[in-house]
Amino acid sequence: MKRDSRLSGVLHVLLHMAEQGAPMTSEQLAKAMQTHPVVIRRTLGGLRDAGFVHSEKGHGGGWTIAKPLADITMRDVYDAIGRPGLMAMGNRTEAPGCLVERAVNAALDTSFQEAEALLLARFAEVTLAELAADFHARMAARSPSPTTQEHIHG
């Protein structure tokens, strides 16, 4: 089963934008993420609608973060990208005729709901500022090199 990596990708893009400190074009971000600029524009469009990023057209334009990183949580980003499914598992059938399968579905549904609630609560506790601080701590722990960009993808 294919994993949905949109949240991971968007968090990655946002941290690159914050690290750059200047507007980044869809093309620059697409290169960093090894994807197509249209994917970046579509994804960041939802974040723009939520007020987390800003885009400016023309020379010197691009995408920038619109709020302090401490004011954006992983949950905020998750919500802004449309709340993709968190669980890859599910029930064999949603409306079974078999009473055994109904009992199994009930137990699984409760467990899935509890797991999702716990995960979403954790997402709400983690800010992008914390992710950026973790990145900087990891970068400081590595041996020095000439540029930040080499550390980011090295």
CA distance 146 to 135: 17
pLDDT tens digits for 6-22? 899 899 999 999 998 89
**Tokens linked to 47:** 């974040």
User: What residue type is assigned to position 11 of the chain?
Assistant: L
The CATH number for 6-88+127-151, chosen from 1.25.40.10, 1.10.10.10, 1.10.287.1080, 3.30.428.10, is 1.10.10.10
pLDDT tens digits for 68-121? 999 999 999 999 999 988 877 888 888 888 999 999 999 999 999 999 999 999
| Per-residue pLDDT, 87 | 78
Question: Of 83, 70, 101, whose CA–CA distance to 10 is shortest?
Answer: 83
pTM of the model: 0.81
CA 90 to chain centre: 23
**Percent of the chain clearing pLDDT 90 (strictly above):** 57
Element (H, E) at 43: helix 37-49
CA distance 65 to 15: 9
Q: Are 36 and 103 in contact (CB under 8 A)?
A: no
Q: Torsions phi, psi of 92, nearest 5?
A: -60, -45
The rounded mean pLDDT for the chain is 88
Going from N- to C-terminal start, the domains of the chain cover 6-88+127-151
